[in-house]
A and B are shown apart, each in its own frame.
Chain A
Amino acid sequence: MSGSRAEQLIESGLWLRLSGDLTWSQKLFEEAFRLDPTLPVVKKLRQPSNGPGGIRSQEELWALLPISISAWPNPFQLPDGSVPAAGATENWNHNTVWRAPEATEPPLPDIDVEPVEFEEIEPFEPLVEPVARQAPKQKKPRIPTSQEELDHLLHAAEEFLQLEDPEAAMDLIEKAEKIARDHPQLRMLRDRGEEALQILYESRIGPLEAVPRVAIRADQIVALSLDHRAGFVLSQIDGGLSFEDLFSLSGMSRLDTTRILAQLLELNVISRA
């Protein structure tokens, strides 16, 4: 299962990378690596694009995105089901050739192709389309359509919710909302995401009837890096009001208030009495 999820995350990450979101694509690649460190492609993708071994061009990225990754068998899987040694794939890119040992190479089922050497073959294509022995075509980078981008963001958000990482899911949902705010699936995802976030933050806060107190001196507060919303919530903490009371007077949604309170606790700006 992890393998499949990791592949989905790689695909979503690729879409994000292509849309210019380096931070979040990186986060998805890291998550994919955490789930399945054996995937060679993920190692490559984890490398910074300006670093050694990193993927620099959009073309390289597009080359990795021909179809839904979840439908692929692992391109690095040996016909007997084993995976090549790490060293054999770590410098892989779409021009890399990997030769399977001839002795163990079985005919590929259901695909009308002659056994070929894998030179010059783009690694993700051959298993789904018959490969003519023609000179490889240079793939033109294409701009993703909004629908495609939306689908992938929804897919990734869903994945993060399943992975119990609602914070990551909500970030993607917000990105998706910029494309199609009223998408029904998006609304459902947001509801689920907010519910999961609420549970997450409340678990960080602890009992809601507990009374928080400011744990640092006034001069230390000024040195913090807070926004005015957090400043407002902090100003309401007087050692008499419970967390539950603070939800009522914050003027913000329960989720926003919980998030701020969880952050303030995490920063040790406030403590539970």
Chain B
Amino acid sequence: MPDRDVVIGIDLGTTNSVVATVQGDQPMVIRNRTGQNLTPSVVAISKNGKQLVGHLAKRQAITNPEGTVYATKRLIGRKFSSEQVAEALKVLSYPVVCGEHDDIRVRLGGRDISLPEISAKVLGELKLDAEEFFGHSVTKAVVTVPAYFNDGQRQATKDAGKIAGLDVLRILNEPTAAALAYGFGKNINGRIAIFDLGGGTFDISVLEISKGVFEVIATGGDSYLGGEDFDHRVLEWLVFGFAKEHGVDLRKDRMALQRLKDAAEKAKIELSETKSASINLPFICTPSGGGAALHLQRSLTREKLEELTADLCERTLSITTQVLEEAKVKPSDLKEVILVGGMTRMPRIAGEVKKFFRREPCKSVHPEEVVGLGAAVQAHALTSDQAPVLLLDVTPHSLGVAIAGGYARRLISKNTTVPTSCTEVFTTSKDQQTTVKIMVLQGESEVAHENELLGEFSLTNLRPALRGQVQVEVAFDINSEGIVSVSAKDKETGQEASIIITPSGGLTEDEMQTIMSEQDDLIAETGESEDTDAKKSELSDLVGQVEELFPRVKQVLADSEFGMDAVKRVEKTLGTARKALGAKRVATVNHSIEQLARTLQLFKSLQQRAGIEVE
């Protein structure tokens, strides 16, 4: 009997994503339908108009740059006008436009698509993989995000889950997930470091684990440093070598570039296990003047790879030094160091981390899978009574208000468990001031404008008086859903103004509704899913059973307290169920299943009471 309430854990990564579950108390990765543990977080509309997600999309990314969307995690939940987005736009190969509310839209296949929709396609793929694994539909998930994600980014991730048909029960910080995968929290309390060098980003985090609370006490990194940079170094080495030998610049040919990129990544991965890797790319290009196509054949040693990427490795360590210094954490304060991300398989990286922290890092769990596995552990904890660790929801960033002089006053510190509330009294800062403007900020900076403005409102008609004489009480309240309410009250008059801030991922409620209904239409258009087929089979069995019993219990039913009305209702239910066998939507079929199951139960109890023999 399958567990219908299964909750899956998902690591929605910048370059790769992982879906995992817990089986027999052991977390495990669910392989995708092509048999691989990692699914590239890449979505494309191929040149022949087909939607691709995952490996296929990645493999045509260079030959179809305008139609391939990748690394949307760097942009999700951000404002189009933000500095980070301006930076990202410089390197993106796909067209990005500004949405109606300063949100980001990707132009793909002639449509402007929101980033949650793009992420939803990756999540949808992982959902399908999980459904194939379990043999039934999966609708609940725990999804991980970087520790530095703000409310908007977290909400956008939740929206992506919703669009994909997943109820995201919990958004989990990636370093926390990594710690959970190692079972920390039950056997280790104290400070640990998570060194996460993935495909596209580098993050270093320090967690303080205490009584089920995983507090991120330091986090930092570089959103543009990852395995792809290492691949690029190998690619450049191949390109320059070929140019020297044949006088041909392979970067001008997209097909050659795609092959070089794939070969560079493959060689890099191979060199984590071996000392030398052969790169053979026959017929890589045809010379412009004609003639036979040229072959690329080279051998790359581990030593050469380390030489080519030495500065990248050093960058990770200098960022780590900086983050630890800012958090006033010494390597010797740490109880463990966890390696996360495929790049930490590179012996040079693992060696440098060991040297830096002066301890052997934890690497017994596959570094590419550790975050996904941790998400699965948390997902299991949410559904199991014997859960080892149940995390508390915390605010990821501090909340406060802007005060005179352009500073920020923190009222709720980050990592405070929710629900929570806090009150503080402020005074007017100017003589004869009759209005105060409350600007609600999120972030860690002392300077107001360096934080994110969540919302603002004004309290007017204050008594004109000298500065500091009128007192305004500001109250923050965060409920368990993460909704922030802020109110300001004139202590003298009791006059009050307030604002409710619901986290927004960039899409309005109306837009979400539209997208969801489009999804429904798409499902209807694409026809019956495998799940619908399975449900129809179940419904067909039930129809058969009810039809068989109905003639025998009909008279008993008519004579019972339910009377002829009940007979009519059964006939109607049967009629509806027969029609539902031709329905396209699983919800329609489910509805009939529920009705018929109740009818069958009623029939069986009537049978027993009336002593009708059961065959």
Residues of A within 8 A of B (CB): 218, 221-222, 224-232, 234-236, 240-241, 245, 247-254
Q: Which of A227, A248, A254 contacts B283 (CB 8 A)?
A: A227
**Cβ B293 vs Cβ A249 within 8 A:** no
Complex CA gap A222/B451 in Å reads 59
Residues in B with CB closer than 8 Å to A232 are 255-256, 258-259, 283
Q: Does B4 contact A (CB under 8 A)?
A: no
**Cβ A235 vs Cβ B254 within 8 A:** no
Q: Does B549 contact A (CB under 8 A)?
A: no
**Cβ B284 vs Cβ A248 within 8 A:** no
Complex CA gap A253/B47 in Å reads 7
| CB pairs A–B below 8 angstroms (8 shown) | A224-B283, A234-B282, A245-B56, A248-B47, A248-B56, A249-B59, A250-B60, A254-B48
**Cβ A228 vs Cβ B283 within 8 A:** yes
Q: Does B63 contact A (CB under 8 A)?
A: yes
Chain B nearest CB from A86 CB (Å) reads: 45
Residues in A with CB closer than 8 Å to B253 are 228
Q: Does B34 contact A (CB under 8 A)?
A: yes
**Cβ B282 vs Cβ A222 within 8 A:** yes
Per the 8 Å Cβ criterion, residues 377-397 of B in contact with A are none
B58 nearest CB neighbor, chain A only = A249
Q: Does B113 contact A (CB under 8 A)?
A: no
Residues in A with CB closer than 8 Å to B284 are 228, 231
Complex CA gap A225/B63 in Å reads 23
Chain B nearest CB from A131 CB (Å) reads: 52
* Chain A facing B: main interface SS: helix
Chain A nearest CB from B449 CB (Å) reads: 45
**Cβ B283 vs Cβ A234 within 8 A:** yes
**Cβ A249 vs Cβ B280 within 8 A:** no
Please report the total number of B residues contacting A with Cβ < 8 Å.
Answer: 28
A224, A227, A230, A248 pick with most chain B CB within 10 angstroms: A248
**Cβ B293 vs Cβ A251 within 8 A:** no
Which 3 A-B residue pairings sit nearest by Cβ, starting from the closest? A231-B283, A251-B63, A249-B60
B60 nearest CB neighbor, chain A only = A249
| Known A-B contacts A251-B47, A254-B48; A231 and B282 likewise in contact (beta carbons under 8 Å) | yes
Q: Which of B50, B63, B286 contacts A228 (CB 8 A)?
A: B286
**Cβ B34 vs Cβ A240 within 8 A:** yes
Chain B nearest CB from A233 CB (Å) reads: 9
Complex CA gap A227/B283 in Å reads 6
Per the 8 Å Cβ criterion, residues 57-76 of B in contact with A are 59-60, 63-64
| Known A-B contacts A249-B60, A251-B60; A227 and B286 likewise in contact (beta carbons under 8 Å) | yes
Q: Which of A221, A231, A247 contacts B48 (CB 8 A)?
A: A247
Chain B nearest CB from A244 CB (Å) reads: 9
Residues in B with CB closer than 8 Å to A250 are 60, 63
Q: Could you give, for residues 11-45 of chain B, a 1 whenever the CB lies within 8 Å of some chain A CB and a 0 otherwise? A: 00000000000000000000000110000000000
Q: Does B568 contact A (CB under 8 A)?
A: no
Residues in A with CB closer than 8 Å to B255 are 228-229, 232, 251
Per the 8 Å Cβ criterion, residues 222-253 of B in contact with A are 253
Q: Does B500 contact A (CB under 8 A)?
A: no
Q: Which of A222, A249, A254 contacts B56 (CB 8 A)?
A: A249
Complex CA gap A230/B255 in Å reads 10
Complex CA gap A248/B44 in Å reads 10
**Cβ B283 vs Cβ A230 within 8 A:** yes
Complex CA gap A224/B295 in Å reads 11
Chain A nearest CB from B583 CB (Å) reads: 28
Q: Does B217 contact A (CB under 8 A)?
A: no
Q: Could you give, for residues 286-302 of chain B, a 1 whenever the CB lies within 8 Å of some chain A CB and a 0 otherwise? A: 10000011010000000
**Cβ A251 vs Cβ B254 within 8 A:** yes
Complex CA gap A254/B50 in Å reads 12
**Cβ B63 vs Cβ A218 within 8 A:** no
Chain B nearest CB from A245 CB (Å) reads: 6
**Cβ B292 vs Cβ A218 within 8 A:** no
Complex CA gap A221/B296 in Å reads 13
B278 nearest CB neighbor, chain A only = A218
Complex CA gap A230/B285 in Å reads 10
Chain B nearest CB from A230 CB (Å) reads: 7
B256 nearest CB neighbor, chain A only = A228
**Cβ A218 vs Cβ B56 within 8 A:** no
Q: Does B119 contact A (CB under 8 A)?
A: no
Complex CA gap A253/B34 in Å reads 25
Residues in A with CB closer than 8 Å to B293 are 226-228, 231
Residues in B with CB closer than 8 Å to A227 are 283, 286, 293
